[in-house]
Structure 1
Amino acid sequence: MADRPRAPQRIRRLLRAIARPMKSDRGRGGPVVHPYRGYGSTREAFLMGRVFRQTRLGRVIPPYGALRDVADVARRIVRRGLPDVEVHVTLGGNDITVTTDHDGYFNAKLALHEPLPLDISWHRADLHVVTHDGAEPIHSYTDVYIPPEDTDLLVISDIDDTVMYTGVADKLRMLYRLFVKQAHQRTAFPGVSAFYQALYVGQSEEARRPILYVSRGPWSIYEMLEEFFQMNDIPVGPILFLREWGITWRRPWPRRAEEHKYALITRMLDLFDDLPCVLIGDSGQHDPEVYTRIVKEPPGGVMAIYIRRVDSHVDRERAIDRLRQEIAHTDCELILAADSTAMAVHAHDRGFISEKGLQAVRRDSREETS
């Protein structure tokens, strides 16, 4: 086992993680547009992002080292969104102009009148922003995922306590797990990587299915979650958060988001209305209630709900069992699973994953828990 990094090294890794999103402007400051990966169908596409202003680094700050990281962390804390700024989005031969909200966020729903190439799934969207202060126009781009025509299944998964241990909504705890703890102290649940890889490639091992992730966390941890997915070899997909927390000195608590997960998932199901779907969540929050509500409403299409059991409270298990009975008459099964292997066994029995995928989940679960 490698030696545990010393305290100064761990602090530097943590600082670098928080400061990393600020490096792209090379200290020049000014307006910045940060788009997130988008998703869509052959009919329409969605993408989101933020336009904000960053402070400029002084000349006394070196371009590298701990002092620069500290300065970039400070810049990240004080950056502010730019409201009422027009963002022009182009995707293939399609375009739309949207306006940022009071926090600087924009949400583009782009009708695809001009078809995109069918032989690729990831498409480049270009963004052009002109701010009100006469600064140089800002250009950026992001990727938009459009499933191939032969896609046979859509996977929508929660992140918090489903893919990774508790900590997504707690930014400091998440950063500690990702960048401070030793490598063998996993942030992902055992077998998660193999299970999601198996769902991604399907029974044919060549499916390349869309996997969309949702979280109750804020947009400000987007880069850290990308790092988490890469570190744990989990299939990449658009990471769709529920909300911007909007924490200020006057309002120190996150904005409420009870209905946001429901609205977001139903919107995705409407977008991919010709695809059967699997929903994955955990027993600790409201995933079972939200998911069964979705199953009971038209048009249906949810084939399975996998709920990771994250506690052993008898009352909670009874409540989930009642939800299972409520949808027993549908084509959907609700599985309360103790681990990734239990989910994978059912997914294999239903034909969602291959035998090879099931064995990979079993092997990885054993290795990660040993």
Structure 2
Amino acid sequence: MSWFFYIWNMLKRDPLQIIPFLTYGTSKHLYLRGRALEDEDIDLSKKGWFNLLVNSWKRFETDEIRNTAIQISVEGNEFHLKTDAEGYYLYDVSTELDFKTDAEGWLSYKVKYNDNSLKRHIQQDNLFKGQMLVPSQEAKFGVISDIDDTILHTGVTSRLKWKVVVNTFFKTPLKRKALEGTAEFYELLHDTVNPIFYVSNSPWNLYRYLEFFLKSNAFPKGPILLRDFRTPFDKTPKLELAHKYHEVFNILKTYPDLKFILIGDCGEKDAYIYLDVVEKFPNRIAAIYLRSVEHKKRMKRIKNLFKDYKELPVLIVDNSSEAIMHAKAHGFIEM
């Protein structure tokens, strides 16, 4: 009987996909990552309560393709590796490859399954396109930005985080609105060459949701760095540093000659993380912007934290126009 159900499960299996995440690297270092999953056919443009609930369920009820051979091709060079126990792949190596990027600094690559036993489940071309950002040498600085309550109203300060649940599970990305003026502010900072990195504590399950949101709201294209959604039974190794620390540190180490502007909010730990970054990476942070939140105690705490701070420019942002004026005054945006 067990063989019957095994065969049935194989026959009814959804087609497979690989989602290459937007990442970053250098001309001498490849940092390619993504995830192999069954294709649940999530259409983020669909409207209506039923489609919304179905899509929300599909994002978190993922069927990973674990410990499976894949092949990455970068301009004719092939690299072979396996996905991990959660279906993720990571190719993080120094290289002497001579590759070219497009006008905005993006290196394109291709990834595919390299396991013959999976052929029957790949109901499309077994070729998935990914991109890695190599910042221009003309970049004056980089920007590392939080997402939740920094550019997208999420509600992390709400009691029991009920607003987070409502916004994440009961609103499509088309219904979510960017905080007023943030896309314009980021585009001015980007100025076609300055790289923008989006770092969030949201799980990778929301990658396409957030990618769709950023694109729909005309934010500059940039690497989106999320975290693994851990369950109580997750046995994969934990990071030594908290996710946001890890990602910010990695970006700063990857580009040692580039200064960065850090953007976050006053809601949770961004202020404390960023101050720690300033201490560990002296002379690397050009400014800090912290979006205000509707929480009196936290706002008072953050304002007191920076009351006499003189190390570098810091602005608690009430509106984006104010941030743009501040950035112009400090030379981050051309007048």
State the TM-score, normalized to the length of structure 1. Answer: 0.71
Task: Give per-residue Cα distances to partners, 1:78-128, cap 9 Å, x unaligned.
Answer: 541122123322223555333222111112214231222266312211113
Amino acid at match of 1:189: L
**In 1, distance between residues paired with 2:59 and 2:28?**
37
Amino acid at match of 1:105: Y
1:87 aligns with 2:70: yes
1:237, distance to aligned residue in structure 2 (A): 1.1
Equivalent of 1:174, from 168, 178, 183?
A: 168
**In 2, distance between residues paired with 1:65 and 1:233?**
21
* Aligned residue pairs, count: 304
**In 1, distance between residues paired with 2:142 and 2:127?**
32
Q: Counterpart in 1 of 2:320?
A: 340
**5 Å matches for 1:312-331?**
312-314=295-297, 316-323=299-306, 325=308, 328=310, 330=311
Q: Counterpart in 2 of 1:193?
A: 183
Task: Give per-residue Cα distances to partners, 1:258-284, cap 9 Å, x unaligned.
Answer: 711011101001111111110000000
- Asked if 2 retains the 8 angstrom alpha-carbon contact of 1:279 and 1:302, the reply is yes
Equivalent of 1:287, from 264, 267, 270?
A: 270
Q: Counterpart in 1 of 2:6?
A: none
- Asked if 1 retains the 8 angstrom alpha-carbon contact of 2:25 and 2:132, the reply is yes
1:350 aligns with 2:330: yes
1:123 aligns with 2:111: no
Could you say if the C-alpha distance between residues 30 and 339 of structure 1 is closer, same or farther in structure 2, counting changes exceeding 3 Å?
same
Q: Counterpart in 2 of 1:141?
A: 129
Q: Counterpart in 1 of 2:89?
A: 106
Task: Give per-residue Cα distances to partners, 1:130-150, cap 9 Å, x unaligned.
Answer: 237353683212122111221
Could you say if the C-alpha distance between residues 78 and 342 of structure 1 is closer, same or farther in structure 2, counting changes exceeding 3 Å?
closer
1:210, distance to aligned residue in structure 2 (A): 0.8
- Asked if 1 retains the 8 angstrom alpha-carbon contact of 2:53 and 2:169, the reply is no
**More off after superposition, 130-139 vs 332-341:** 130-139
**5 Å matches for 1:4-15?**
none
**In 1, distance between residues paired with 2:225 and 2:254?**
14
Q: Counterpart in 2 of 1:365?
A: none
Could you say if the C-alpha distance between residues 31 and 296 of structure 1 is closer, same or farther in structure 2, counting changes exceeding 3 Å?
same
Amino acid at match of 1:196: Y
**In 1, distance between residues paired with 2:143 and 2:215?**
19
Could you say if the C-alpha distance between residues 316 and 83 of structure 1 is closer, same or farther in structure 2, counting changes exceeding 3 Å?
same
> Sequence identity, in percent?
26
Q: Counterpart in 2 of 1:274?
A: 257
State the TM-score, normalized to the length of structure 2. Answer: 0.78
- Asked if 2 retains the 8 angstrom alpha-carbon contact of 1:175 and 1:224, the reply is no
**In 2, distance between residues paired with 1:70 and 1:131?**
34
**In 1, distance between residues paired with 2:112 and 2:228?**
23
Counterpart of 1:217 in 2: which secondary structure? strand
Could you say if the C-alpha distance between residues 299 and 229 of structure 1 is closer, same or farther in structure 2, counting changes exceeding 3 Å?
same
- Asked if 1 retains the 8 angstrom alpha-carbon contact of 2:173 and 2:209, the reply is no
1:55, distance to aligned residue in structure 2 (A): 7.6
Counterpart of 1:135 in 2: which secondary structure? helix
1:173, distance to aligned residue in structure 2 (A): 1.6
**In 2, distance between residues paired with 1:113 and 1:318?**
48
Equivalent of 1:155, from 143, 150, 161?
A: 143
Structure 2: gaps of 5 or more residues: 1-11
Structure 1: gaps of 5 or more residues: 1-26, 57-63, 202-206, 356-370
**5 Å matches for 1:17-36?**
29-36=14-21
- Asked if 2 retains the 8 angstrom alpha-carbon contact of 1:288 and 1:320, the reply is no
